[in-house]
Amino acid sequence: MSLNPVYLPNAIPLPIADEELREIVDKSKDWAVMHGAAMRNKNSFCKDAVQIAPFSLIPSCFPRKEFNKAVALQPILNELMHRVAHDQLFLTECLRETIQVDEFTGNLFKIFETVQNEGITQPISLALLRSDLMLETIPTFSCCKQVEINSIASGFGWLGPVSAEIHRFVLHQLGYGDQIVNLPENNALQGLCGGMIEAWKIYGNENAAILFVIEEVTINICDQRFHEFEIYRMSPQTKVVRKTLTEIANKAKLGPNNELIIDGIHMAVVYFRSGYEPEAYPSKKEWDARLLIERSQAIKCPSIQYHLAGTKKVQQALARSGALDMFLTEAKKIEAIKEIFTGLYSLDFDEFGDQAVQMALDEPERFVLKPQREGGGNNIYGMDVKKAMLEMKNSKERTAWILMERIHPPVSKSYIIRPGDKNLPILEDVISELGIYGVVIGDSQKILVNRQVGHMLRTKLSSADEGGVAAGFGALDSPFLIDLD
Ligand code: ADP
Ligand code: MG
């Protein structure tokens, strides 16, 4: 097994001479901030200002064939996720051990059980999914492997497409306008907002609003607001309301037919941009608010069962031999999904779990250790995998984690433009993660809408473990499609 990185070619000849680089960096930063490729400043938060989001000056190359395959696969993944979300027994089995030791997932599961026992008020769910993928190069250059699938707060519906706009501008300015044909069209924002508007129409009350559930402090404000502005552009009569879970806890009530009412406004659709992390629930009342939403008539994005279907434990269970056959009948679809799965192992207290513990102790660098968390910064890598495993191998805590084979994506050269950086950027070795968006609307019996709606690319230093942009690890990017063979 070779650990020498595989390099992708550059989209344009690099390096760029200093003078030209200085000019294009200044220009592209202004372009970015003036077109909403921006975020709030985490360290000196101010509601009146945004600054550039970190971005890659030049798009990273991505094999066209693999890109097209990932796009084509998304409706199949959508179908799979929809079926999984509606299989109560499967979710219960998958999460049985985990919810005993992971309080957060346990609380989500309690809400799931409660509404299942009471009877579901709103059978229709809206899912805005994002399947995250990396190219694998070990032992040989092969297809995309799935990092995870997000079923809650799948962000960057705006920051994804705008990154390609930055790159169109930059390539033109540098004299490579003929190359922009290699930047694929990306209508993620319209696709995702279109899904929300369709759900709003299905709900069928023109006066009802779409509720965005937001964090106390929103750093990734442009991404969220552009969703709101796009909904307004596409459907001016659809009102959008933003509230934190704490505000919802204080103000929301259910009407006589379980209508979700906040400040006298009836909510048709609830879109969670928060609520996937323990910090969103500082007290019991936020959990009560989540339960209240779940009990309501509103169409949830995601509903609690979709949230649970997006946990890493479920991802791992789906990679077990025979699991996909429970949800999909066509062998071609099953094979296509299997191809993107990398090794995923449970750490339950059984023969398989013990084997996985041993593998992690023997070759920790081969794996990533993941808890049931979202939003970046929670996983364990490299030699820390061994340390963590030694600490928890005899405790029940290990069942809250999964073990995943590490993916080794190819390396590109890039200039990363970071906010506040006064120096001229230097060429750095980076790796990328592609996200493909899917929209699904349906109930336990039928799927009404199933679409692939766009993509995003995030890039980070090849030496970094994690790549979240809002979390401060990664940079916005867009794929520049190339033909390798
Ligand atoms: P989160 O829900 O916190 O986003 P992820 O599973 O997406 O968790 O992991 C966070 C990041 O860690 C990913 O964006 C990716 O950069 C890196 N990562 C996760 N799993 C792997 C893996 N199997 N191989 C290589 N890198 C990984
Ligand atoms: Mg992720």
Task: Assess if residue 98 is contained within a domain.
Answer: yes
**What pLDDT does residue 472 have?**
66
Task: Assess if residue 120 is contained within a domain.
Answer: yes
Task: Assess if residue 271 is contained within a domain.
Answer: yes
**What is the distance in A from the centroid of ligand 2 to the CA of 148?**
6
What confidence tens digit (pLDDT) does each residue in 65-90 have?
A: 999 999 999 999 999 999 999 999 99
What confidence tens digit (pLDDT) does each residue in 316-328 have?
A: 999 999 999 999 9
**What pLDDT does residue 465 have?**
85
Task: Assess if residue 186 is contained within a domain.
Answer: yes
**What is the distance in A from the centroid of ligand 1 to the CA of 464?**
11
**What is the distance in A from the centroid of ligand 2 to the CA of 221?**
19
**What pLDDT does residue 473 have?**
76
Listed in sequence order, the residues at least 6 apart from 266 whose beta carbon sits closer than 8 Å to its beta carbon are 205, 207, 208, 209, 255, 259, 260
**What pLDDT does residue 422 have?**
92
136, 340, 368: residue to mutate for ligand 1 pocket, most atoms within 8 A of CB? 368
Task: Assess if residue 383 is contained within a domain.
Answer: no
For residue 450, give the amino acid letter.
N
Task: Assess if residue 6 is contained within a domain.
Answer: no
User: Does the bond joining 302 to the residue before it have cis omega, within 30 degrees of 0?
Assistant: yes
Q: The tokens of 222 are what?
A: 């442009």
**What pLDDT does residue 1 have?**
42
Angle, CA 445 vertex, CA 441 and CA 449 arms, to 5°: 20
C-beta of residue 138 within 8 angstroms of C-beta of residue 2:
yes
Question: What domain range includes position 177?
Answer: 18-342+407-482
pLDDT above 70: residue 2 = no
pLDDT above 80: residue 467 = no
What is the average pLDDT value for the chain, to the nearest integer? Answer: 96
For residue 47, give the amino acid letter.
K
C-beta of residue 149 within 8 angstroms of C-beta of residue 81:
yes
**What pLDDT does residue 376 have?**
87
Ligand 1, closest atom to CA 145? 23
pLDDT classification of 469: cutoffs 50, 70, 90: confident
Task: Assess if residue 125 is contained within a domain.
Answer: yes
Task: Assess if residue 3 is contained within a domain.
Answer: no
Ligand 1: which residues within 6 Å by Cβ? 132, 147-148, 368, 370, 373-376, 378-379, 404, 406-407, 433, 466-467
**What is the distance in A from the centroid of ligand 1 to the CA of 194?**
28
C-beta of residue 432 within 8 angstroms of C-beta of residue 407:
no
pLDDT above 90: residue 56 = yes
Domains held by the chain: number: 1
Residues 359-375, mean pLDDT to the nearest whole number: 96
